[in-house]
Amino acid sequence: MADIEKIETGESRGPRRRRKPASDVPENAFGGASEELVEKVVYINRSAKVVKGGRRFNFSALVVVGDKRGRVGYALGKAGEVADAIKRGGELARHQMLPVALKDATIPHEVYSCYGGAKILLRPASPGTGIIAGKTVRAVLESAGIKDILSKSLGSKNAANVVKATLAALLSLRTREEIYKSRGLQIKKVETPKAPEAVAAMN
């Protein structure tokens, strides 16, 4: 009976430890701060299979994932439920991320790419322009970290082909340093012109 009384009164548990507030817990307490990735669902498709008991539905989700610092990837996830398809597509896209050459917040040069019937044209833009693009192309560009760009879709509107054409265009970009290095040349530093000096005195 004495033991039961101790359990009821809480004497056997010993002194209680004060729980730390969430702000006191360090970021690395749960195995390190995870890399911030942006996940965007571009398109969800539903397919139906007629079976003896009725129809069996299956879903596929086209997901684009990027870190907004020059790495982006995409994948098509398939499952019996929409949430599972999106989750599977996101996991596959994380393993298929590729680096993209950027120049500040835009692209280094104009590029044109095709995939199937999809045709994509990308042009660099001045700061403050924003992303001038449709929904599908915008998802890829935002995930890559591009903020100022002009784009135009000239062919098919198939979401999968547009994503593949956009990613192919981004992967074909090369910076000035990469081009010079491949040709074995060195970039010459151009000196900034000096302001003309005022004439000290008139003869």
Q: What is the pLDDT of residue 87?
A: 94
Q: Supply the pLDDT for residue 191.
A: 72
Q: Please tell me the predicted confidence (pLDDT) of residue 25.
A: 33
Q: What is the pLDDT of residue 183?
A: 85
Q: Give the burial class of 80: count Cβ atoms within 10 A of its Cβ; 0-12 exposed, 13-18 middle, 19 or more buried.
A: exposed
> In order of start, what are the domains of the chain with their CATH numbers?
38-182 (3.30.230.10)
Q: Which residues of the chain have pLDDT under 70?
A: 1-35, 195, 197-203
Quote the pLDDT of residue 46: 93
Strands (DSSP E) found in 15-85: 38-51, 54-66, 71-79
Q: Is 136 buried (19+), middle (13-18) or exposed (0-12) by CB count in 10 A?
A: buried
- From CA 122, how far away is CA 55, in angstroms rounded? 43
> For residue range 15-59, what is the model confidence (pLDDT) as tens digits?
555 544 433 433 333 333 346 888 999 999 999 999 988 999 999
Q: How far, in Å, CA of 154 to CA of 168, rounded?
A: 15
187 alpha-carbon distance from chain centroid:
31
* pLDDT at position 157: 92
